[in-house]
Structure 1
């Protein structure tokens, strides 16, 4: 399934969640792990003008320093990686550029990142609640490989992916997410939890009859669009009404005890680039379990199968708001 997993970290001396999780995942799937540290510079003229990882002293990073940092990284993660299990690379530049360059060089089939810098205070970066950070955003925008966002180290049990939640809004990228999750489930024997939120306007009343009607319509659309991928797999559809997708998704993850979230990157494409979208960013920033962001059909290049040929080319992909003009989700739908 996974053969080459790339994990990037900006922490040299302290283990962080993405690398620990990537190492466990690589071990479970007998994959090769590639550990990357990109040395950032505040200089626009010389990207090798950096601060020493330990003393904070400004210096020019040479080959000897890169080798030293590489050895320190191996010591830092000695409980997670050992021997020939992982390749370690230290380089200078913009983190997202370094990640993309190595991912394409090794033909990675999964990239594992943290939602924001672990050294934000040190670098003078202000963390903005709900945003996954510029590195994740720039990688998702430009990379077709699946990108996993990890807040907390995932344990071995969680990485079996027994329960996978896929939030969908009927967009093309969400269809790619369902296809990816289906291939994952075929390998991991996962239960797939396909989740859809009926957007409800923030006005005084949303009747139960309206909710029942909207839910029936949503279930029909889910079955019609995703059945080609889910036939023969353990799956269920979950429909709720709400106005804030990221909160409803996080509530569903908690209620369903999900081990993994798989999300399409966004509902639209602009200028050939796919953007993470607010739901992906807000869920990725808060989720207790890993989240995999899927961009476009090219993400499936390493997987058997593509988007189902049986799906109608003109499928209804509009996000349908509630049919009731006065709408708020019922307290117990």
Structure 2
């Protein structure tokens, strides 16, 4: 399912749960795993071009090996990658180069992001920028993940009816079919919005057809603050994966990145949160088209 996985890390150790989850996925799916640290934030912009010649990237790689080597030792082909640059740019660049189908990231600390903002004059976090711009799904992990069988059996997808959210719903349908999982598609309406009956009807009309055949597929609507309602639904339904689209209609980058719903959910959820902004097919035995229908070998050959 996941054939090439990148996990982004910092020297703080706060990413250990993400590394552990990525290593378990890589073991389960026999994936290639790239544990990646982007150096430069701590040293400052002017130091970036000197990090590799000075041997600093090599020393950081040794540090990463000491911190996380125990998780990687049993994974054939796993690599520790340390490069100099701006974190989100380099993670996205590596993901494109390796054609990865999953990026795993841990939480970020307020102190780390404040330091980064002052140094680079950038609002928002690496986590937010990667999850917004990545071509593949991004999974945010802030607590231990139990790698069970099946891996996921209760999946929650939150949609705001945007184009990006449609990609998240489609990916949720693929995962639900792959794992024969229950799938809940929900929408949180704002103050003065349509009543729950109207919203559920719209959910069924827009997504029902492409989710035919998904075990236990249901649609839910509620009103309130989106992050709080998504978290409530995840806890009440014992979800083991939350899927969302990370995007913003804000033109101001600071307003767009700070306090985004996907980040609020990801850092407080009882399970991993996956950000999906583009259509992406699972690399597994069954392939699905954008309507959620299985693509046969004959049909795939004609594409």
Query: TM-score when scaled to structure 1?
Result: 0.73
Match of 1:4 in 2: 4
Match of 1:179 in 2: 170
The equivalent position to 2:265 in structure 1, one of 278, 283, 292, is 283
Deviation at 1:189, TM superposition (A): 2.0
Contact 2:159 / 2:244 at 8 angstroms: preserved in 1?
yes
Match of 1:98 in 2: 90
Match of 1:264 in 2: 245
Residue 236 (str. 1) matches residue 227 (str. 2): no
Alignment of structure 1 residues 1-333 onto 2, 5 Å: 1-11=1-11, 16-41=16-41, 42-48=43-49, 60-62=51-53, 64-83=55-74, 84-117=76-109, 120=112, 124=115, 133-157=124-148, 160-201=151-192, 214-266=195-247, 268=249, 278-297=260-279, 299-300=280-281, 304-308=287-291
Contact 1:12 / 1:72 at 8 angstroms: preserved in 2?
no
Contact 1:113 / 1:149 at 8 angstroms: preserved in 2?
yes
- Distance in structure 2 (CA, Å) of the matches to 1:15 and 1:114: 5
- Secondary structure, counterpart of 1:153 in structure 2: coil
Question: Gaps spanning 5+ residues in structure 1: where?
Answer: 50-59, 127-131, 203-210, 311-333
CA offsets 1:10-61 (integer angstroms, 9 cap, x no match): 1266762221111112222221111101112443333145xxxxxxxxxx55
Deviation at 1:254, TM superposition (A): 0.5
Distance 1:289 1:141, change over 3 A: same
Question: Gaps spanning 5+ residues in structure 2: where?
Answer: 118-122, 294-303
Greater C-alpha Rg: 1
Query: TM-score when scaled to structure 2?
Result: 0.80
The number of residues matched between the two structures is 280
Contact 1:201 / 1:243 at 8 angstroms: preserved in 2?
no
RMSD: 3.2
CA offsets 1:56-101 (integer angstroms, 9 cap, x no match): xxxx554744334323323322332215341111111111111011
Deviation at 1:200, TM superposition (A): 3.1
Stretch moving more, 142-151 or 237-246 = 237-246
- Distance in structure 2 (CA, Å) of the matches to 1:169 and 1:15: 30
Deviation at 1:268, TM superposition (A): 5.0
Distance 1:45 1:65, change over 3 A: closer
- Secondary structure, counterpart of 2:288 in structure 1: coil
Contact 2:14 / 2:107 at 8 angstroms: preserved in 1?
no
Q: Would you tell me which structure has more helix in proportion to its own residues? A: 2
Deviation at 1:241, TM superposition (A): 2.8
